[in-house]
Structure 1
Amino acid sequence: MARNDGIDRTFARNQDLPTLDDVAKVQEHNEREKDSYSNQDIDTTQTHRNVHFKKPTDSYAAMFDQMIADGVISTRGLKADAVKYGELLFDVNSAYFHNHGGYEYAKQFYADAYKAAVEIVGGEQYILSAVMHADERNRAMSEALGEDVYHYHLHVVYIPVVEKQILWSKRCKDEALRGTVKETIIQVSRSKKWDSKPVLDENGNPKLNEKGKKILKSSYSVLQDDFFNFMRAAGYTDVERGERGSTEEHLTVTQFKVQAEQQRLEAVTGQVAQAERGLENAKAATEKQKKKLEALQKETKAAKTISMTVQDIEAMGKKATFGNNITLTPDECDTLKRYATNGILFNAENERLREKLESAQKSASIWKQRYEKLHEQYTELKQKAQPFMDALEIASEKVWAFINSILARGKETQEHKAPARKRGQDMEI
């Protein structure tokens, strides 16, 4: 996710797909099989630009069953509720691609990212689908730049597998075979595929803690490292790794959107504050001029040379002996000139300040309306996501599959209820 700090970062995330229902939902989203989407930023007029680096030959579930039948993978020894599917998502902030030319650059970047996915998964044969989405509009950047900007990212659905050796048991009649390798299978195993790895020192040896136990590194942190290092080696040296030790390696779709909306809210809040400061400055300037006027009026009353009433001014001058002309003394003439000049200047200044104040009030009103609308949307989204985010903070890795399943069901309910909408902003991943 973009941090608005001018740094482009790579992100790689892994998401378990615990149930066939989860698999079906991901397939509908990735392959754009639905007629409408709850994410209003999906622009179906641009779906033809999505790029498949590996196109599925059937449904994900049917492809899995065929791989079992062909002996490519094995579920021997797995529990009935074991996680058999996973999805990798590779991502860089939208500004990175926009600044490098957009769509064509993104296609090449993710073609190379797909090569990284093949290495991470362990072989292309275990990948069911790999598609770059180019039809999800980045609303914030589009509004800021006045043109459509799309968020390019790569979805890779795969089967998590490990190589497992099957040994001859102690019941084997041939004693020489007991304990030796009987056969090697490619076993479906999410837990072994994403097991934590030991942290190595400069000599390649595992680091130990104070108790002499190996220091382990989260498998998702390893995933971030592998993707970053691969893309750097491929020539993309102007990107940085996603922040270490952050929860970004475990972000759910809901959390991702909450953070995106929070960033938009902060941006608009800043603009509202700026408009309100402008309004306050205009008010302060007006008050300052009022005080100056009041002070001048006090000085005027106190000054003997200009301390006359309206009647005094009207009484100025003497009618000439011949004709209708009025004659003024030099002092009277100077006094009238000062009054006239000051009056014109103050009228002009007060009119300018009045227009400035009205403009600032109008601008502040517009931004306040935008802020209140966005704040209402953000609050609603945050309220919906808060229980999940609270649970994620205290949940151990063992309950991740359970929480992801709940989030997926919640998303399905929203999609069934939400009508088709026109394109909008943020990304759905």
Structure 2
Amino acid sequence: MARNDGIDRTVARNQDLPTPDDVAKIQEHNEREKDSYSNQDIVPERTPLNVHFKTPTDDYVKMFEQMEQDGVISTRGLKPDAIKYGELVFDVNSAYFYNHGGYEFAKQFYADAYKAAVEIVGGEQYILSAVMHADERNRAMSEALGEDVYHYHLHVVYIPVVEKQILWSKRCKDESLRGTVKETITQVSRSKKWDSKPVLDEDGNPKLNEKGKKILRSSYSVLQDDFFNFMRNAGYTDVERGERGSTEEHLTVTQFKVQAEQQRLEAVTAQVADAEQSLENTRVAAEKQKKKLEALQKETKAARATALTVQDIEAMGKKATFGNNITLTPDECRILKDYAVSSFAEKAEKLKYKQKYEQAEKSASVWKRRFEALNEKYLELKKKAQPYLDALEIASERVRAFLDVVLSRGKETQEHKQPARKRGRDMEI
């Protein structure tokens, strides 16, 4: 699964198909046999671009039965509920193919990956179908880049087989044959195919822990190594191995997509929360600017109210009895003198208020535009996330519980299906 750290990683996943119903569902998905799909990222118009490196000759179950009749495989000794089918999914993050040109590069990459699959399963004859999907849109990247980006990956449905030697029994009449190999069969066996392997030292001997027990490597860790090493040797030196210990090695395809959607939901929810906070901050800042503007308006109004009017000034003074001189009372003289002294300060103060007023209006206008732009962005983001938010609002606990159950079931299933290990053994993944 992508970690958004700029590193391209190979991922190989193995999925058991325990029942005929599971096999049928995988066939419908891989071969695109449905008329419509619940997965909205599938683009039917691009389905003809899907590439079969091995095309099935019939449905998967009938192909299995025919191979058993022809003696290619054997179910001798298998329990009725034994797992007879498996699916490998080979993958690299979508950005890797996007940066290398897209579809044509992906076709060549997975043509080489199919060769790796042939080696891993033990031969092409045990592969029922191998198809590269080119019709699934990567929604997150498409939205981020403003163009359609597709998630290329390879599905390989196969039969897990091992070579098994059948020995002559003690009841054999020829004593010389007893205990020797009677025949070698290709047995269908998921448990033996994916049995954990011992960790070897430089001399090829099994490594032991402090108690003298063999240290084992998970078969799925071996699968990751094999796929990565094969692709590196094929010339794809700009990819890294999938992270060791990562649960993505053990996820089924469905679980992998559920987990991706859960992470996408969390990311979108966080973006909505950030947008709401930014919107609130902008609203508070705009309100402060509005209050400052109102305060300046009040100060200007008060200054105007206290100033002398022209009529008041003209009413001052009396004409002298002789000549054209004007006489003022002491109070009038004091008032005019004070007014004359303060008039220059008042003009400067009015200019100051005017500048503050204009600046406040300009600042308020800027904050208003920011608020409107952010509000529009917030509404758009909330609209995209609305299905998830509605689901959480209606039954938040059920939605999260459902996702947790799906993921935990997958983990429990993998742990249940792993071969039983003796107590005290170490496991390296």
TM-score (norm 1): 0.82
Question: 1:261-300 alignment to 2 at 5 Å?
Answer: 261-286=261-286, 288-289=288-289
Matched, 1:180 2:180: yes
The secondary structure found in structure 1 opposite 2:117 is helix
Structure 1 residue 36, shift from structure 2 partner: 1.1
What is the alpha-carbon distance in structure 2 between the residues aligned to residue 391 and residue 165 of structure 1?
36
- Over 3 Å counting, the alpha-carbon distance change for 1:11 and 1:333 in structure 2 is closer
Instruction: Answer yes or no: is the 8 Å Cα contact 2:167–2:179 preserved in 1.
Output: yes
Instruction: Answer yes or no: is the 8 Å Cα contact 1:258–1:382 preserved in 2.
Output: no
Instruction: Answer yes or no: is the 8 Å Cα contact 2:296–2:357 preserved in 1.
Output: no
Question: 1:236-315 alignment to 2 at 5 Å?
Answer: 236-286=236-286, 288-289=288-289, 308-310=303-305, 312=307
Structure 1: runs of 5+ lacking an equivalent? 321-327, 402-429
Matched, 1:373 2:387: yes
Runs (4+) of structure 1 exceeding 2 A deviation are 252-255, 265-298, 306-320, 328-401
Q: 2:144 — aligned with what?
A: 144
Q: 2:104 — aligned with what?
A: 104
Letter in 2 for 1:170: K
What is the alpha-carbon distance in structure 2 between the residues aligned to residue 374 and residue 158 of structure 1?
37
What is the alpha-carbon distance in structure 1 between the residues aligned to residue 61 and residue 409 of structure 2?
30
What is the alpha-carbon distance in structure 1 between the residues aligned to residue 308 and residue 351 of structure 2?
12
Instruction: Answer yes or no: is the 8 Å Cα contact 2:276–2:378 preserved in 1.
Output: yes
Q: Give the number of the structure whose alpha-carbon radius of gyration is greater.
A: 2
What is the alpha-carbon distance in structure 2 between the residues aligned to residue 251 and residue 112 of structure 1?
23
Matched, 1:363 2:377: yes
Matched, 1:67 2:76: no
Structure 2: runs of 5+ lacking an equivalent? 316-338, 420-429
Question: 1:38-57 alignment to 2 at 5 Å?
Answer: 38-57=38-57
Structure 1 residue 50, shift from structure 2 partner: 0.4
Instruction: Answer yes or no: is the 8 Å Cα contact 2:293–2:357 preserved in 1.
Output: no
Instruction: Answer yes or no: is the 8 Å Cα contact 1:258–1:381 preserved in 2.
Output: no
Q: 1:189 — aligned with what?
A: 189
* Residues 401-425 of structure 1: per-residue CA shift (max 9 Å, x gap): 9xxxxxxxxxxxxxxxxxxxxxxxx
Q: 2:330 — aligned with what?
A: none
Instruction: Answer yes or no: is the 8 Å Cα contact 1:75–1:188 preserved in 2.
Output: yes
Q: 2:120 — aligned with what?
A: 120
Select which of 390, 403, 409 maps to 2:408: 390
Matched, 1:354 2:368: yes
Letter in 1 for 2:405: P
What is the alpha-carbon distance in structure 2 between the residues aligned to residue 313 and residue 212 of structure 1?
106
Identify which range, 334-343 or 49-58, moves more after superposition. Answer: 334-343
Q: 2:335 — aligned with what?
A: none
- Over 3 Å counting, the alpha-carbon distance change for 1:76 and 1:289 in structure 2 is same
What is the alpha-carbon distance in structure 1 between the residues aligned to residue 93 and residue 255 of structure 2?
16
What is the alpha-carbon distance in structure 1 between the residues aligned to residue 412 and residue 194 of structure 2?
20
Identify which range, 172-181 or 72-81, moves more after superposition. Answer: 72-81
The secondary structure found in structure 2 opposite 1:308 is helix
Structure 1 residue 318, shift from structure 2 partner: 5.1
Identify which range, 288-297 or 67-76, moves more after superposition. Answer: 288-297
Identity %: 69
Structure 1 residue 390, shift from structure 2 partner: 3.0
Q: Which has the higher contact order (CA 8 A, sep 6+)?
A: 1
What is the alpha-carbon distance in structure 2 between the residues aligned to residue 259 and residue 399 of structure 1?
21
Instruction: Answer yes or no: is the 8 Å Cα contact 2:296–2:353 preserved in 1.
Output: no
What is the alpha-carbon distance in structure 2 between the residues aligned to residue 2 and residue 375 of structure 1?
24
Identify which range, 88-97 or 368-377, moves more after superposition. Answer: 368-377
What is the alpha-carbon distance in structure 2 between the residues aligned to residue 296 and residue 113 of structure 1?
73
- Over 3 Å counting, the alpha-carbon distance change for 1:339 and 1:313 in structure 2 is farther
* Residues 302-354 of structure 1: per-residue CA shift (max 9 Å, x gap): xxxx963536365578569xxxxxxx965364454444444333333333333
TM-score (norm 2): 0.82
Letter in 2 for 1:163: E
Identify which range, 255-264 or 69-78, moves more after superposition. Answer: 255-264
Number of corresponding residues: 390
Identify which range, 338-347 or 55-64, moves more after superposition. Answer: 338-347
What is the alpha-carbon distance in structure 1 between the residues aligned to residue 182 and residue 367 of structure 2?
91
* Residues 97-145 of structure 1: per-residue CA shift (max 9 Å, x gap): 0111000000000000000000000001111111001011111111111
